[in-house]
Structure 1
Amino acid sequence: MILNSIVNGEGAPVVLLHGLFGAARNLGVIARSLSGARVISLDLRNHGDSPHGAMDFGTMAADVAETMQSLGVPQASLVGHSLGGKTAMTLALTRPQMVERLVVMDIAPVSYSHDYDAYVAAMQAIELRPGLARHEADAALAQVVEEPPMRAFLLNNLVLGAEPRWRIGLEEIAASMPNLLRWDDPPGMQPYTGPTLFLRGGDSHYVQPAADAPIARLFPNAERETVAGACHWLHAEKPQEVIASLKGFLHL
């Protein structure tokens, strides 16, 4: 699958991969700040303006590889957050020749027990009628999603107008949720020995000390860095700190 892409700048290619319920445009601040690079922000399948379909990390990594090839990019540095981080790790482990450097933001190669089924169900329950206002959709989501910033993030995927619709593939995401929570070593993989940075939020619970062993096994040259005062969405909460870390690691 060829994914929708947004390209900024010129130079060595850097591919940005967003997290669940996100889109390429959510990473615009980072993309515009990595001067000296050709930054390619991708909408993962079922997100943004990319096509929809069944999801697992092998398939999503293949999407990224196919899209890079279509753009004439045989190799790039990859930066992935959460869902995008697992996708980037899978590509590095299965097609290492395509990954010059790897940055994984606030996720680890482990399975997770949390899920977002309630969020998906709440989004699906909103009546998509003509004239639907954003504040009405927000009020409907508030019954399940308490945090206003999270509701705003989810509602970025809602297109209002004469025929309201969700950009995001809610049915496909719901059906694929078990695959997205798991981590299984990709078939035929080898440890990725290229330069790797695991960048975590200091206040996030996503990368626990127990993840150190699988990280070391799969990414033996990985560095680890913590962004103080940031939670899971570290690039939105501490953008300047994240940008500084990325520039240093990517030599930009």
Structure 2
Amino acid sequence: MRLASTTLGPADAPRLLIAHGLFGSGRNWGVLQKRLSDAFRVTAVDMRNHSGSDWSEDHAYTDLADDLAETLDGPAHVLGHSMGGKAAMALALRHPDKVQKLIVADIAPVAYTHSQMHLIDAMRALDLSGLDSRKDADARLAETVDTPGVRAFLLQSLDMAEGRWRLNLDALAARMDAITGWADLPGAFPREALFLSGADSDYVTRDMRPAIREVFPKARFAAIPGAGHWLHAEKPREVEAAVRTFLQ
């Protein structure tokens, strides 16, 4: 599985791999990637079935973890957000030799009851014919998606020139239960892990900490004030500071 990626930073600097969340892409982390590249060699990937990477009918976290393992030619720090956070956790459990320190952004190794099918339905329903601008696309998407920030996020994956989504919506829809779920993987990660949450998000709660520590016994916890689930977009400087403090 070929994953598209970009890499910034000195060749001899410590490695940092970033895995984005559902419907996202490596470019969502471009600001933090650039800022952190002064001290790290930072690679931001597009996950399978997203943006510039290969598509597949399979989208289990074991598959995503193995994709990430194949991109690494040696150990690296790994940061993953949401779906990418679960993939990063699976990587740490399946290929612990590949992961030095782990940062999991606003997700836990548990099954969630929410679904993102309503957003897939909205993207599928969007009439892509005759669009002159992303503003036009936003106006049409507003008929089914109320929140401007969510529309802006989704429209980053719309290829205006080709008139298509750079997302494998069929595979993501078929595997939604696996994406929101969690496959219990054997073992425990022996090194340090930071679970970094948005203080205004309910994705990682205190009652999840026993489940987290069961597989990540050296887990630390921190929250970014004033941030929700998309903490890296809402509070990039605070997230950058937390990442630097933990890794350095």
| TM-score above 0.5 | yes
**2:221 aligned with 1:249:** no
Q: TM-score, normalised by structure 1?
A: 0.94
8 Å contact from structure 1 (residues 132, 164) kept in 2: no
Counterpart in 2 of 1:137?
137
Q: Deviating runs (4+, > 4 A) in structure 1?
A: none
Counterpart in 1 of 2:83?
83
**2:50 aligned with 1:47:** yes
Secondary structure of 2:203 counterpart: coil
Q: Which moves more between the two structures, 230-239 or 121-130?
A: 121-130
Equivalent of 1:64 in 53, 62, 68: 68
Counterpart in 1 of 2:200?
203
Aligned counterparts, 1:69-218, within 5 A: 73-161=73-161, 163-186=162-185, 189-218=186-215
- Deviation at 1:136? 3.1
Secondary structure of 1:29 counterpart: helix
- Deviation at 1:130? 4.5
Q: TM-score, normalised by structure 2?
A: 0.95
Q: Which amino acid aligns with 1:108?
A: A
Equivalent of 1:17 in 16, 19, 22: 19
Q: Cα deviations across residues 229-252 of structure 1 (Å, max 9, x unaligned)?
A: 10000011111110001001111x
8 Å contact from structure 2 (residues 61, 183) kept in 1: no
Secondary structure of 2:101 counterpart: strand
Q: Which moves more between the two structures, 6-15 or 134-143?
A: 134-143
- Deviation at 1:208? 1.2
Counterpart in 2 of 1:227?
224
Q: Which amino acid aligns with 1:62?
A: D
8 Å contact from structure 2 (residues 80, 103) kept in 1: yes
Q: Which amino acid aligns with 1:18?
A: H
Q: Percent of pairs identical after alignment?
A: 43
Output the CA distance in 2 between the equivalents of 1:91 and 1:105: 15
Output the CA distance in 1 between the equivalents of 2:118 and 2:137: 15
- Deviation at 1:46? 0.9
Counterpart in 2 of 1:29?
31
Output the CA distance in 2 between the equivalents of 1:85 and 1:198: 9
- Deviation at 1:67? 1.8
Output the CA distance in 2 between the equivalents of 1:109 and 1:128: 36
- Deviation at 1:132? 4.7
Q: Cα deviations across residues 27-68 of structure 1 (Å, max 9, x unaligned)?
A: 011111112211010000011200111201000001111122
